[in-house]
Amino acid sequence: MRGQVRAHVSELIAEHAASFTPSERQIANRLLGDPVATGFASATDLAQQLGISASTVVRFAQSLGFRGWLELQAAIKHESTERQRLVDMAPVEGRFLTAFINTEVYNLNYMLGQDEELEAAAGLLAGCSTLWLVGNRASLFVASVANHFLNMTRPGVRLLAGDVHVTPDQLLDVGPGQAALVVCISRYSQATLDLTRYLAETMPVVLLTDEFASPLLPHATVCLRFATAGVSSWKSSTAAFSMTQALVMAVARKTPGARERLNQAEELWREFGTYSEEQ
């Protein structure tokens, strides 16, 4: 039980996303998009805004494990207070770095309690014949880091770059016995969603995603989550890269010959003078 992570309303929404009705998904999307305004509205007011019944709003809260909308509101208010507290921890005006670090500590702590999921994901990625990496737009940078280090850990790593709608021939070698690592951070890429659906028909999918209700969740065999809270309009990617590094290290531990492969890479770097010898 990941107590700290599961306490978040966004996490509860993500866990139940696959079973939501269209009306419930409306509520979820509104909550995730504007948690403060939506979370402080009454069930009747929210129902009127969305064109649904107040009883649907109440049932939505109950489906997440709350006794009703009022209890869900209390959880949202608590989370809003905690987020503001992180920003306010900067001692004086202008101490942006302090606020930034406090927020990043929160993002990193969000990853706690996923040890079993990490081990399961590493087992899938270490034991497959070919490992496909998927990421688009901002998520591509995280997927590229994973590609760089996994390629030095094991053979058969392939990064699917660009829009699969334009170059679907990249998928010619997709088949059984393989696995996929998909990175997708809100806003979620339609190309990534389509590609993940396709790959999930053939192979297990490890999903690295944020704290929101990702539409890719129903297609994931194993999911690893990270928070993206920021002190400005920019989302943080710190925890995304940290989770990626943890996963790569776990894969290396489960991959026979990983150390020998890294030694071979070192020999190639020396032979081709890849790195400067000057210190």
Tens-digit pLDDT profile for residues 87-114: 555 545 668 888 889 989 999 999 999 9
* Tokens of residue 147, six digits: 């590609």
pLDDT of residue 188: 85
Q: 56-72 burial, b for 16+ CB within 10 Å, e for fewer?
A: bbbbbbebbebeebeeb
pTM: 0.75
Amino acid identity, position 155: P
Backbone conformation region of residue 148, classed left if phi is above 0, alpha if psi is from -120 to 50, else beta = alpha
With contact defined as beta carbons under 8 Å apart, do 216 and 184 qualify? yes
Residues of the chain falling short of pLDDT 50: 1-7, 91
Tokens of 22: 């269209």
Q: Which residues contact 213 (CB under 8 A, 6 or more apart)?
A: 10, 13, 14, 17, 28, 29, 32
Q: Is 273 exposed, middle or buried (0-12, 13-18, 19+ CB in 10 A)?
A: exposed
Indicate the class that CATH gives domain 3-87: mainly alpha
Residue-level pLDDT at 3: 35
In 64-137, alpha helices (H): 69-88, 96-109, 115-127
Domain 115-269: give its CATH code. Answer: 3.40.50.10490
Taking a C-beta distance cutoff of 8 angstroms, is the pair 262, 150 a contact? no
Whether 3-87 and 115-269 share one fold: the answer is: no
Could you tell me the strand order of the sheet in which 157-160 lies? 157-160, 131-134, 179-184, 205-209, 222-225
- Closest by CA to 12, choosing from 82, 86, 62, is 62
Q: What is the tens place of the pLDDT at every residue in 36-68?
A: 677 778 899 899 999 999 999 999 999 988 989
Task: Break the chain into its structural domains and give their ranges.
Answer: 3-87, 115-269
